[in-house]
Structure 1
Amino acid sequence: MAKKGKRLLEASKIYDKETLYSTTEALELVTKMASAKFDETVEAAIRLGVNPKHADQQIRGAVVLPHGTGKSVKVLVFAKGEKAKEAEEAGAEYVGAEDLVNKIQQGWLDFDVVVATPDMMGVVGKLGRILGPKGLMPNPKTGTVTMDVAKAVKDIKAGKIEYRVDKAGIIHAPIGKVSFGVEKLRDNFNALLDALIKAKPASAKGQYLKSIALSSTMGPGVKVNTQKAAIFDKE
């Protein structure tokens, strides 16, 4: 805790936690304050004016970040026959059917994303209690239940991320690594924001983008001016 406390103290000298910065200013501060010995992930926390208790306001989806996430992702695909072959050719690390179900039930979880063809969902359903709590269950809304497994795998490898509003109405999503630099991080952030704005439910009333904060793994949250961000400010 002492180390993090010292970091936050140093950070507080170069930014003001109450100021609303432009996206570019915020990212400049986030990258400047990242002082860990590893390449920190930059995360966006976006609070939306929705009530997740209402089914039609449970914002969930996926977006391909133009510059990827900086993280290599292991993809597991449930498919048979020709579709299994397509998944393998697209670069999926693991492809199978019932054999993978048994393996996962025995505790194997060495993968980051799960894709399935619709006909395999009956089989995958047996893993709901294991995959569900870890956010790994395939879902049509995020494009992970699909007949086009090759495209799904390629998109994930290219930097596709899933987003889902939590109980407090907040989306937490990675937008890259500190080493990407401000421009690439801004492109990725704008792609995420664009997807969220397009996903605004008709029933959401009042201000939709309530607040935005950007931070690195070990750094403090820097507040972003939501009105400027919504028009994808380039300042």
Structure 2
Amino acid sequence: MAKAGKKYLAAAAKVDRNKLYSISEAVQLVKDTSFTTFDATVECHIRLGVDPRQADQQVRGVVVLPHGLGKTVRILVFAQGEGARIAQEAGADIVADTDEWIKKIQDGFTDFDVAIATPDMMGKVGRLGKVLGPRGLMPNPKAGTVVPPDDLPRVIKEARAGRVEFRLDKTGNLHVPVGKVSFSPQALNENLNAFLDAVNKAKPAAAKGVFMKRITLTSTMGPGVRVDPNLAARASA
């Protein structure tokens, strides 16, 4: 632990905690201060000026990152009949088309990153809320993960390419991965701008005052780097 502590302190010393950096500066700093031996994930955390207790101030959306997430995405599709065939042909890793699959997931199987469902399966999928909900895996029409069979190829392709769902948590924050430290600065910039643009478009009409209050970029185990929200808003406009 002491060794990791020293590495963290050395990395943190490169970051001015009182400074608000531009997106490109923050991206470069996050790359420079990552000290893990593995390819760390770059994450964006945003504090929003909304009240998460109010139904009309919820923030939720989906963005397809132009350069993906740099990881293999395992996709499960709940479908049957023609939908199951289409899902299989579209490259789904798992097609859950039987009650046996429903029971397996009820018993705790969650070895997948994205779950998609056709509407006719939602009666059964609804029973899996306690397992899928806390892990952010529950298919939802608003998030575009409950679709008719004909839409499965598009949604599966987007999920494979870097489709990210974001949703306001109970403390009024968003947390989303935007790539890997090994990505080029340009790729991380473009992914981050795509995410910020999607967040701005998801701003609820009931939100008043400053929408993006605080933006922090970080890598796995690395120090946080604060991004100037004003510059971010202009860059994504």
Structure 2-normalised TM-score? 0.95
Give the AA of the match of 1:19.
K
Distance (whole Å) between structure 2 residues aligned to residue 45 and residue 107 of structure 1: 29
Partner residue of 2:212?
A: 209
Partner residue of 2:32?
A: 32
What runs of 5+ residues in structure 1 fail to find an aligned partner? none
Distance (whole Å) between structure 1 residues aligned to residue 84 and residue 49 of structure 2: 41
Partner residue of 2:108?
A: 107
1:126 pairs with 2:127: yes
Q: Where does structure 1 differ by over 6 angstroms across 4 or more consecutive aligned residues?
A: none
Asked if structure 2 preserves the Cα contact closer than 8 Å seen for 1:69 and 1:175, the reply is yes
Q: SS at the partner of 1:180?
A: coil
Give the AA of the match of 2:96.
G
Partner residue of 1:146?
A: 147
Distance (whole Å) between structure 2 residues aligned to residue 113 and residue 44 of structure 1: 20
Distance (whole Å) between structure 1 residues aligned to residue 127 and residue 12 of structure 2: 49
Q: Deviations over 1:159-203 (max 9, x none)?
A: 001111111111000000000021100100000000000000010
Aligned alpha-carbon RMSD (Å):
1.2
Distance (whole Å) between structure 1 residues aligned to residue 12 and residue 174 of structure 2: 25
1:173 pairs with 2:176: yes
Distance (whole Å) between structure 1 residues aligned to residue 146 and residue 12 of structure 2: 45
Correspondence list, 1:194-233, <5 A: 194-232=197-235
Distance (whole Å) between structure 1 residues aligned to residue 108 and residue 131 of structure 2: 9
Shift of 1:79: 0.7
Asked if structure 2 preserves the Cα contact closer than 8 Å seen for 1:115 and 1:144, the reply is yes
Give the AA of the match of 1:91.
G
Partner residue of 1:163?
A: 166
Give the AA of the match of 1:225.
D
How many residue pairs align between the two structures? 233
Distance (whole Å) between structure 1 residues aligned to residue 5 and residue 141 of structure 2: 42
Shift of 1:142: 1.1
Distance (whole Å) between structure 1 residues aligned to residue 42 and residue 75 of structure 2: 22
Give the AA of the match of 2:89.
E
Structure 1-normalised TM-score? 0.96
Distance (whole Å) between structure 1 residues aligned to residue 144 and residue 4 of structure 2: 38
Distance (whole Å) between structure 2 residues aligned to residue 203 and residue 79 of structure 1: 37
What runs of 5+ residues in structure 2 fail to find an aligned partner? none
Asked if structure 2 preserves the Cα contact closer than 8 Å seen for 1:42 and 1:178, the reply is yes
Asked if structure 1 preserves the Cα contact closer than 8 Å seen for 2:65 and 2:163, the reply is yes
